[in-house]
């Protein structure tokens, strides 16, 4: 069990070793084992549980601030809103109704841990399925509530959508998304 089980290594004969290394190298030169994706001509369709950008269901949210409390990087801010008769919320002063709050995420701070998803007592957060967004300036990081409600627009819409699959030859292969 203990020390006696220590393995004795076997060193390979240098001549055999060089030949085998060169042969293997030649094999992969002829038949490369490529697993990269031709981004952005091809983009990944991510699994449904992938943690990317997300938005909130305005009608479902009850404004309890639990997400703001649990957010580890303090990316969530609660904005004061007024809930009108239809269940939608409007900015303060724009309508009559119940005073409430709604979360807004600062994308510059968010770490996509999805703790807010899990603490939400009404399951109001909605994943958008988008993960590859870039922001051009500091302002875009911090959307207003109305901007935050709209699901982020997916870049490279015309690209070929693929999903990954395990491949015995290449490790990761890609096939067209269903």
Partner 1 sequence: MSERVYNIEEAPNIDVSGDRYIMLQIGPSHPGSGHMRIKVWLDGDIVVKVDPDIGFVHRTSEWLSERREFIKAIPIVERIMLPDTIHANLSYITTLERLLGLEAPPRAQYLRTLAAEINRITSHLYGIGIFGIFLGSSTVYMWAFGDREPFIDLMEMLTGARITYSYIIPGGVRWDMPKGFKERAEKVLEYMEKRLKDYDDIWVKNPVVQSRCVNVGVIDKTNAIRLGVVGPNLRASGVYYDTRKHDPYAAYQNVDFEVPTFKNGDAYDRLLIRVEEIKQSMKIIKQVLKDMPEGKIIDEGTYKQLNPVMKKVYDERARVMFPAFYNHMRPQPGEATGRVEAGRGEIFFYLRSDGGKYPYRFRWVTPSFRNLPFFTHVAVGYRLADLPAIYGSVDYFPPEADR
Q: Which residues bind partner 1 (CB under 8 A)?
A: 1-3, 5-9, 11-12, 14, 17-18, 20-21, 23-25, 28, 33, 35, 47, 49-51, 66, 69-70, 72-73, 111-115, 117-123, 164-169, 171-172
Q: Which is nearer to partner 1, 128 or 164 (CB)?
A: 164
Please say which residue, 25 or 87, places its beta carbon nearer to partner 1: 25
CB 7, min distance to partner 1, A: 6
Q: Phi/psi of residue 91, each to 5°?
A: -60, 155
Q: Please give the torsion angle defined by the CA atoms of residues 8, 14, 15 and 21, in that order, rounded to the nearest 10 degrees.
A: 90
Least distance (Å) between residue 151 CB and partner 1: 18
Looking at beta carbons only, is 41 or 69 nearer to partner 1?
69
Question: What one-character-per-residue DSSP string does 50-94 give?
Answer: ----EEE-TTT-----HHHHH-TT--EEEEEEEE-TTS-EEETTS
Residue closer to partner 1 by CB (options 134, 139) is 134
Helices (H), 120-174: 138-141, 145-149
Rounded distance between C-alpha atoms, residue 149 and residue 78, angstroms: 14
In angstroms, give the least distance from the CB of 52 to partner 1.
Answer: 9
Least distance in angstroms from the C-beta of 56 to partner 1: 15
Cα–Cα distance, 119 to 123 (Å, whole number): 8
């Amino acid at each position: 069990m203990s020390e006696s089980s220590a393995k004795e290594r076997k060193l390979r004969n240098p001549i055999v070793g060089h030949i085998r290394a060169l042969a293997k190298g030649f094999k992969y030169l002829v038949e490369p084992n490529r697993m990269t994706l031709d981004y952005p001509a091809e983009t990944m369709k991510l699994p449904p549980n992938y943690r990317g950008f997300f938005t909130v269901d305005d009608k479902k949210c009850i404004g309890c601030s639990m997400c703001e409390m649990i957010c580890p990087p303090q990316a969530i801010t609660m904005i004061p809103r007024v809930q009108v008769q239809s269940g939608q919320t409007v900015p303060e002063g724009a309508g009559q109704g119940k005073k409430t709050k709604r979360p807004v995420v600062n994308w510059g701070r968010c770490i996509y841990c999805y703790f807010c998803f899990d603490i939400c007592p009404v399951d109001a957060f909605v994943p958008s399925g988008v993960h590859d967004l870039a922001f051009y300036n500091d302002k875009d990081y911090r959307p207003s509530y109305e901007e935050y409600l709209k699901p982020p627009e997916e870049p490279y819409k015309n690209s070929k959508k693929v999903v990954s699959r395990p491949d015995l030859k290449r490790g990761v292969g890609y096939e067209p998304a269903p």
